[in-house]
């Protein structure tokens, strides 16, 4: 994940705490990256703060990485859907 991430209280309860943040990068298009993304998503699956993490990553527009069980592309799609709903008459 790019840059410094401010430590939030819920992060101390995250399943990924203590894990190298590079394990959650999702920017490489090769199959090795795909395998690492699957591994990151598996960590998220059982996380007690999954929803908080997901919401925080959406609210703060985290630019890359797996957050709250979502990849960068999934968050981008979800943000686009939120915008479309807000614009609907």
Q: Is 49 annotated as a binding residue?
A: no
What integer pLDDT is reported at residue 18 of this predicted model?
A: 93
In total, the chain counts a number of residues equal to 89
Q: Is 44 annotated as a binding residue?
A: yes
What integer pLDDT is reported at residue 4 of this predicted model?
A: 62
Whole domain around residue 61: which residue ranges? 21-87
Whether 12 is covered by a domain: the verdict is: no
pLDDT tens digits, one per residue of 60-86: 999 899 999 999 989 999 988 866 566
Could you give the number of structural domains in the chain?
Answer: 1
Q: Is 53 annotated as a binding residue?
A: yes
Whether 27 is covered by a domain: the verdict is: yes
pLDDT tens digits, one per residue of 30-70: 656 788 899 999 999 999 999 999 999 999 999 899 999 99
Whether 5 is covered by a domain: the verdict is: no
Q: What is the pTM of this model?
A: 0.79
pLDDT band for 2, please (50, 70, 90 cuts): very low
Cα–Cα distance, 61 to 6 (Å, whole number): 13
Whether 16 is covered by a domain: the verdict is: no
Please return the burial class of 2, using the count of CB atoms within 10 Å of its CB with bins 0-12, 13-18 and 19+: exposed
Whether 14 is covered by a domain: the verdict is: no
Q: Are 42 and 35 in contact (CB under 8 A)?
A: no
Residue 79 structure tokens:
């943000």
Cα–Cα distance, 79 to 17 (Å, whole number): 26
């Amino acid at each position: 994940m790019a840059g410094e991430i401010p430590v939030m209280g819920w992060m101390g309860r995250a399943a990924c705490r203590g894990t190298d943040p590079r394990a959650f990068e999702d920017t490489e298009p090769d199959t090795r990256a795909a395998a690492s993304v699957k591994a990151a998503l598996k960590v998220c699956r059982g996380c007690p703060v999954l929803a908080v993490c997901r919401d925080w990553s959406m609210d703060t527009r985290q630019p890359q990485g797996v957050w709250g069980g979502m990849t960068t592309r999934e968050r981008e799609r979800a943000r686009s859907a939120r915008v479309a709903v807000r614009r609907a008459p």
